């Protein structure tokens, strides 16, 4: 109904239907005016005219014409009701019309022959025939009635279609929203479908590879095991070397400081440094404060050295562990 993409636009179809309805109404009005004019002409033209006859007999030559007109009206009504040419009523009416036309043609031919043979005979007021002009007007009236009935049926159909389109106008937003939802769902389903296709193709390739490698035999000679310690570096050796390097550096710095210090601790060192006789030496005088400071320095050095050794033992024992220290069993 023009509500989906790819179809005729709803509003364009509504405009087209209204335009066609306007054309049909204009044609109907024109046909109605033509029928009114034909009816006026039929009323002004006499239905029967007097004819010349030799025998003076009365020929009822207009009964067949009435039958023809009646059958044509009946066919027009059946066509307006929507019956096809194969419908039994339409077939029967058409056969009756053909028979009436045949009878009418025979009567008309007989009347023409009588007129030709009685050209010199006086007019007989009792002998009449149907007026050909009136007959033609009646035929046009029947055609016009048929056209009017057809136009009326088409106008009703167009009005029904327009009414349906007006009702559908209320559902257009809902249909558009539903279409958007369907499109969104379609994209989601399409993406999932493509993902499944990709996964199926990957599975097929993997299965093919497994089938091709079935002939290759693998044997595990030695199962892998989890190492209990780091492969490198050797932490116990590294920590021990660090401790020894630190102690050696301290001793080396102390020795260098003692060598660059410009004092003489003994008389022999003074005598060896100068070629002069040493007259005498003065022994060091020890005070309580000096002795206490020396003891504090020695105690501090001992505590620091002991702390360093304790930290080394703690790291080697608890942080690295006996496995790394002595190797795996």
Q: What is the DSSP string of 82-139?
A: T--TTSHHHHHHHHHHHHHHHHHHHHHHHHHHHHHHTSSSPEEEEEEEE-HHHHHHHH
The conformation of residue 319, written as its DSSP 8-state character, comes to I
Give, for 72, the enclosing helix (H) or strand (E): helix 63-80
End-to-end CA, the chain: 87
Give, for 208, the enclosing helix (H) or strand (E): helix 172-212
216 vs 234: CA distance, rounded Å: 41
- Is the residue at 197 inside a domain? no
Residue 88 in this model has a pLDDT that exceeds 50:
yes
pLDDT at res. 218: 62
pLDDT at res. 59: 44
Kindly report the average pLDDT of the chain as a whole number.
Answer: 76
Comparison of pLDDT for 262 and 28, the residue scoring more: 28
Full-prediction pTM beyond 0.75? no
- pLDDT tens digits along 231-277: 777 777 888 888 889 888 988 888 888 777 767 777 787 777 777 78
Residue 52, beta-bridge partner list: 123
Instruction: Work out the burial of residue 279: count CB atoms within 10 Å of its CB; fewer than 13 is exposed, 13-18 middle, 19 or more buried.
Output: exposed
Percent of the chain with pLDDT over 90: 8
Comparison of pLDDT for 197 and 291, the residue scoring more: 197
Residue 121 in this model has a pLDDT that exceeds 50:
no
Instruction: Work out the burial of residue 104: count CB atoms within 10 Å of its CB; fewer than 13 is exposed, 13-18 middle, 19 or more buried.
Output: buried
| Residue 171: band (very low, low, confident or very high) from pLDDT cuts 50, 70, 90 | confident
As for how many domains the chain has, the answer is 2
pLDDT at res. 5: 47
Comparison of pLDDT for 280 and 53, the residue scoring more: 280
Instruction: Work out the burial of residue 115: count CB atoms within 10 Å of its CB; fewer than 13 is exposed, 13-18 middle, 19 or more buried.
Output: middle
Q: Which domain-ending residue is among 121, 150, 183?
A: 183
Residue 165 sits in the same domain as residue 243: no
- Is the residue at 275 inside a domain? no
> SS3 of 51, please?
strand
Spell out the residues 6+ positions from residue 124 whose beta carbon is closer than 8 angstroms to its own. 50, 51, 52, 53, 56
Residue 26 sits in the same domain as residue 174: yes
Query: Within a 10 A sphere around the Cβ of 65, how many other Cβ atoms?
Result: 24
Residue 42 sits in the same domain as residue 170: yes
pLDDT at res. 56: 42
Residue 176 sits in the same domain as residue 300: no
pLDDT at res. 117: 54
- Is the residue at 90 inside a domain? yes
> SS3 of 310, please?
helix
The average pLDDT across 108-121 equals 59
- Is the residue at 296 inside a domain? yes
Comparison of pLDDT for 34 and 60, the residue scoring more: 34
Residue 239 sits in the same domain as residue 123: no
Residue numbers of the domain that contains 57? 10-183
Range from 103-117, 169-183, 290-304 carrying the lowest mean pLDDT: 103-117
Residue 55 sits in the same domain as residue 126: yes
Q: Which domain-ending residue is among 183, 201, 225?
A: 183
The average pLDDT across 36-45 equals 84
Q: Which domain-ending residue is among 183, 213, 247?
A: 183
70 vs 178: CA distance, rounded Å: 56
Percent of the chain with pLDDT over 70: 76
Residue 94 in this model has a pLDDT that exceeds 50:
yes
| Residue 193: band (very low, low, confident or very high) from pLDDT cuts 50, 70, 90 | very high
| Residue 23: band (very low, low, confident or very high) from pLDDT cuts 50, 70, 90 | very high
- Is the residue at 199 inside a domain? no
238 vs 23: CA distance, rounded Å: 107
Residue 52 sits in the same domain as residue 176: yes
The conformation of residue 60, written as its DSSP 8-state character, comes to -
Residue 116 sits in the same domain as residue 254: no
Comparison of pLDDT for 152 and 270, the residue scoring more: 152
């Amino acid at each position: 109904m023009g509500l989906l993409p790819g179809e005729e636009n709803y509003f364009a179809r509504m405009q087209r239907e209204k335009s066609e309805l306007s054309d049909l109404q204009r044609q109907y009005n024109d046909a109605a005016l033509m029928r009114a004019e034909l009816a006026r002409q039929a009323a002004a033209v006499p239905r029967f005219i007097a004819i010349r006859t030799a025998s003076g007999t009365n020929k009822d030559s207009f009964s067949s014409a009435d039958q023809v007109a009646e059958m044509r009206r009946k066919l027009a009504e059946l066509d307006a009701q929507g019956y096809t040419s194969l419908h039994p009523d339409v077939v029967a009416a058409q056969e009756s019309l053909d028979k009436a036309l045949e009878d009418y043609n025979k009567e008309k031919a007989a009347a023409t022959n009588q007129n030709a043979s009685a050209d010199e005979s006086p007019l007989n007021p009792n002998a009449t025939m149907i007026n050909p002009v009136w007959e033609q007007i009646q035929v046009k009236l029947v055609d016009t009635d048929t056209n009017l009935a057809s136009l009326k049926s088409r106008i009703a159909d167009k009005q029904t279609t327009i009414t349906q389109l007006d009702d559908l106008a209320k559902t257009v937003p809902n249909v558009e929203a539903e279409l958007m939802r369907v499109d969104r769902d379609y994209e989601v389903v399409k993406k999932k479908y493509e993902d499944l296709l990709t996964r199926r193709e990957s599975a097929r390739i993997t299965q093919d590879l497994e089938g091709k490698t079935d002939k290759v035999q693998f044997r595990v000679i030695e199962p892998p095991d989890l190492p209990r310690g780091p492969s490198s570096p050797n932490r116990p050796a590294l920590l021990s070397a660090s401790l020894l390097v630190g102690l050696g550096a301290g001793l080396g710095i102390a020795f260098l400081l003692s060598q660059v210090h410009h004092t003489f601790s003994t008389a022999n060192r003074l005598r060896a440094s100068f070629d002069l006789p040493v007259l005498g030496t003065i022994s060091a005088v020890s005070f309580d404060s000096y002795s206490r400071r020396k003891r504090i320095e020695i105690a501090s050095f001992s505590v620091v050295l002991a702390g360093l050794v304790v930290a080394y033992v703690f790291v080697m024992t608890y942080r690295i562990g006996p496995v790394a220290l002595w190797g795996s069993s």
